[in-house]
Amino acid sequence: MTLDREINLSFTDLTIILLVACLFVYMAFLTFNSPFPDGRDAWWHILVARAWYKGMNGMISPIVMDMNRLPYPPLFHLLLIPFAYSLDSSLLAVKVMQLFFYPLGTLFLMLLVRKYHGSMFAIVLSLALIGTYFSMNQMQARPQSLEILFYPLAFWALLENRTKTFILSIAAMFYTHSPISIALALGFVVYALRQNKKDLKVWFSVVAVAPILLYQASFMFNQIFFERWFAVGDIGIIIETQAFVADPLFWLLNGLGVNIAAFALIPWLLYKWKDQSKFTQVMLYSFFGMLLIVPTWYQRTFMFTIIPMAFFTALSVMNVKNKYVKAMLLAALAIQAFIFTVAPAWWMSPPDYFNKYW
């Protein structure tokens, strides 16, 4: 029995490696068969890195303040600065980032789940996660794709009470993409404080992120409340929100896939709260922390929310006792993952404003 168990574990672990390798190869194929990066955001962040390269404070450079209305945290752009001396090198840098973000983000989440729930659970989670439009946003080279890599690390540090790792991973999120990073960190903070209001790793994390938040807050009152929400980015949040409100079912079904069923499971998990593992409880806190941020920018926040929802989906599939029903559910997840993976990426040429700021 022990030998069988070892063989089964080896097979499922090999499946994890193979799945991530396939994602990597697929991303390489997509990335280097187009002269442009995926999505429009990469071009914007190249310009911010270029501003740093020219000696400006990139956080409040013209491209940032004209379009974002709020200082942008520096961590992601600091990685691009060494390549900002030319457009070709900048494009190569974002392509390399684009190549790694999606496979690594999936791998890190799988490794986190594998540690506490086993390899098969991790595989089911990956299928639920990959088969969604919102998770595919991580295919883009942009700060939120980088900060998602820190999310599993912060999750693990919270569960294992690793103070330094928790502080560093939370700080990395905020210095990459605050204030939306609150969506990733809020559930962790609330859960930890519910356990111990004097938890030093939480308060040290607050101190660590305070400088960037205060710096942004100094620009907030006029810029945020009177300008930002009407003109953020190159299309404006109002346009995105209107599109969602006009047809929420379309966006939810395409964005969340079968994970939309997790909305029905969550009340049951809350009802049976005491029966849930610490991991599931933290995931529930994380989910509700993310929901609080959804009204600020639904597309960006759903990119985060899909993580706990995929976990809840995997949890429900793994709890199915009938092996035939479970096999059918796994097949459905695999088919959905394949369909969304081969869906076309949004390769985009430079936006109209690019040359103005380059």
- How many Cα neighbours within 13 Å face the side chain of 141? 28
CA-angle at 21, arms to 344 and 332, nearest 5°: 60
Q: How far apart are CA 177 and CA 217, in angstroms?
A: 14
Q: What angle do CA 49, 51, 52 make, to 5 degrees?
A: 65
Give the residue from 73, 134, 78, 79 showing the smallest Cα distance to 105: 134
Bridge-partner residues for 347, per DSSP?
Answer: 38
Q: Nearest to residue 318, comparing CAs of 114, 151, 103, 20?
A: 114
Is residue 179 reached through a cis peptide bond, with omega within 30 degrees of 0 on the bond before it?
A: yes
Domain boundaries, the chain: 102-357
Instruction: List, as one string, the DSSP characters of 196-209.
Output: -TT-HHHHHHHHHH
Low-confidence stretches of the chain (pLDDT < 50) are 1-7, 229-235
Determine the pLDDT at residue 227: 53
Mapped onto helix, strand or coil, the DSSP state of residue 41 is helix
Q: What is the pLDDT of residue 207?
A: 96
Q: Please, are residues 73 and 59 in contact by the beta-carbon 8 Å criterion?
A: yes
Compute, in degrees rounded to 10, the torsion defined by CA atoms 187, 192, 194, 198.
-140
The predicted structure's pLDDT at residue 225: 53
User: Measured between alpha carbons, how far is 325 from 171 in angstroms, rounded to an integer?
Assistant: 43
pLDDT for 241:
64
CA quadruple 176, 180, 185, 189: dihedral positive or negative?
positive
